[in-house]
Amino acid sequence: MGSSFLLPGPGQPVTGPDPTFKSGSTPALVTFDLVSVAPPSPLYIQRDDLLAIVVSSQVTNEVVTVRARMLMGPVPRGGQPDQEAPPEATVDPRNTNIIQDIVFVTTPAPGNGTQSFVLPLAEGYLLGVTASTTSASTSRGQTFVRCSLTRTNSNVGNQRLVLFSDYATNIAVASWPYGRQLSPTEGPGWIHGVQAATPGAGADWSFTAGNAQRLHVLSFSATFTAAVAVASRNITIIVDDTAGNIVWQDDVTAAVTASQVASINATQTNVPVGVIATTLFAVIPPGLQMQNNVGPATRIRSLTGNIQGADQWSAIFFLVEQLIDNG
């Protein structure tokens, strides 16, 4: 009996799609080159260009590493002279895809303002620049780096193109391209505790920002120990400058009497009402920022009325958000 199924004929299948097939997808509107493409950088470095690096840090034993990558320009080769034409320079195709890494490492001295360095560059495309740190591991406000292009050995006032200026850590590096250009006084900053110097017996304390520091004061707490001498010590917290110009003052909620050990606290909010008689409060200006860069330095100090010779201030700690203020 004959078969009722139609079997395919012998031979190879026909190549190409079935002419009756209709695709349901939309074809791409553009195509991309995969060979002989332009370098991935808009910045071409000439032989007179220099990389200017400015570093500021408030951290001891900080190490800043700046890395740059360059796609080198072609190296011309001189041709042989002949009788009909002068020598012509030719480009060796083997020298058109060389990437050079430039690494610069410095250890800035903490609190000494800015330190500047200038590095020579070769001709070619600048692909990227990064700055990372070792000690400033997580907090902004500790180490600031600015990189720019210049054509003189001095980078002050001669910057041709600022690549980036930002705080750097070993996690969030400052970089070009796609980096930021910020002032060092733009936060957020480094939030930490700072201890003020303990004064001698019978004396008040005073606290100012350190060299090249901008401090946003969040709160403070101190201990006042009254001697046995009978007197009511009335404590005032004053914000002024080193020239003596007072801009704020507030007294604590109660007097400290003989033999008391009182905790004196201040925040930017209203004075809380507590049940512990020796925990006292004052208010400091909201958003208070202290500087020690231009003009008289901002200062916070205590003024204790009826202070006795054996009275003692101690454990004076400030919670601050710290930034670098180098002008």
Residue ranges of domains in the chain, CATH in brackets: 44-176 (no CATH), 190-324 (2.60.120)
Res 40: pLDDT: 84
Q: How confident is the model at residue 92 (pLDDT cuts 50, 70, 90)?
A: low
Q: Which has the minimum average pLDDT: 14-28, 54-68, 111-125, 183-197? A: 14-28
Return the number of other C-beta atoms located less than 10 Å from residue 236's C-beta: 15
Whether 151 shows a pLDDT value over 60: the answer reads: yes
Whether 309 shows a pLDDT value over 90: the answer reads: yes
The pLDDT mean for the chain works out to 86
Res 76: pLDDT: 62
Return the number of other C-beta atoms located less than 10 Å from residue 310's C-beta: 12
Q: Is 16 left (phi over 0), alpha (psi -120 to 50) or beta?
A: left
Res 111: pLDDT: 74
Cβ-contact 217, 286 below 8 angstroms? no
Percent of the chain residues topping a pLDDT of 90: 54
Highest mean pLDDT among 78-87, 99-108, 145-154, 174-183: 174-183
Whether 13 shows a pLDDT value over 90: the answer reads: no
pTM (predicted TM-score): 0.80
Res 26: pLDDT: 78
**DSSP state letter for 93:** G
Res 250: pLDDT: 95
Across-strand partners of 322?
190, 215
